[in-house]
Chain A
Amino acid sequence: EPEVTQTPSHQVTQMGQEVILRCVPISNHLYFYWYRQILGQKVEFLVSFYNNEISEKSEIFDDQFSVERPDGSNFTLKIRSTKLEDSAMYFCASDSEGSSTDTQYFGPGTRLTVL
């Protein structure tokens, strides 16, 4: 069964450093998402991406964040200058239709630790 994959599984970085989290969505999907979960809190939406542009973003997704689909398979989340409060589990997801009834398929997550 096709699945969403994410790398790395765990990333440790120093405050102020740039990190890039990578995702490979399911191959025939067209809509891509990033979510994050701070320990003990809800899974929160960050951004959705379709047709090579951001379609929706939350208040969390400020100028420090950017997303890119650099080639036909990868979908990346970049944090330019990490803060302690960026420590969280980051989930990538994808779906084929982008509608409210469509199932989003999630990757296993990248745990980001900012020291």
Chain B
Amino acid sequence: GDSVTQMEGPVTLSEEAFLTINCTYTATGYPSLFWYVQYPGEGLQLLLKATKADDKGSNKGFEATYRKETTSFHLEKGSVQVSDSAVYFCALSDTGNQFYFGTGTSLTVIP
């Protein structure tokens, strides 16, 4: 069945460091892929998405490319800020309309 495997956390980085959070997926169809972010005390907010192979989603300096050959959707940011501290969730949506989520990766950025 469909599933998402996400890099274990927590991740701690210094401000302006490069961020990668790995995400791989298993799907029976042609899924859409998403990254959601959860700031403390808030709900899951869409960060970016890609709906077909080779699409790149981007938002707020974050990027992720839908790689069908490696079944991956790794999240990257060139220079993180303290305000990026949050929990990041990789998710997919396949032929149905339910989402499959990874376990979430907690990121802390220190000044």
Of chain B, the residue at the smallest CB distance from A5 is B43
Task: Tell me if A52 is interfacial: C-beta within 8 Å of chain B.
Answer: no
CA–CA, A4 and B91, complex, Å: 19
Q: Considering residues A6, A98, A108, which has the most beta carbons from chain B within 10 angstroms of its beta carbon? A: A108
Task: Tell me if A103 is interfacial: C-beta within 8 Å of chain B.
Answer: yes
Task: Tell me if B25 is interfacial: C-beta within 8 Å of chain A.
Answer: no
CA–CA, A42 and B100, complex, Å: 9
**Do A91 and B51 form a contact, CB below 8 Å, given A45-B100, A99-B97, A100-B95?**
no
B45, B93, B104: the one within 8 Å of A100 (CB): B93
| Residues 55-111 (chain B) with a chain A CB within 8 angstroms | 89, 91, 93-104
Task: Tell me if A18 is interfacial: C-beta within 8 Å of chain B.
Answer: no
Chain B interface bracket (under 10, 10 to 19, 20 to 34, 35 or more): 20 to 34
Of chain B, the residue at the smallest CB distance from A97 is B97
**Do A103 and B100 form a contact, CB below 8 Å, given A43-B89, A91-B43, A109-B43?**
no
Task: Tell me if A107 is interfacial: C-beta within 8 Å of chain B.
Answer: yes
Contact between chains at A100 and B49 (CB < 8 Å): no
Chain A interface bracket (under 10, 10 to 19, 20 to 34, 35 or more): 20 to 34
Contact between chains at B44 and A106 (CB < 8 Å): yes
User: In the complex, what residues of A have CB within 8 A of residue B51's CB?
Assistant: 101
Contact between chains at B99 and A45 (CB < 8 Å): yes
Contact between chains at B36 and A106 (CB < 8 Å): yes
* Chain B residues packing against A (C-beta within 8 Å): 4, 29, 31-32, 34, 36, 41-46, 49, 51, 89, 91, 93-104
Q: Which 4 A-B pairs have the closest CB atoms?
A: A43-B101, A106-B44, A108-B43, A45-B98
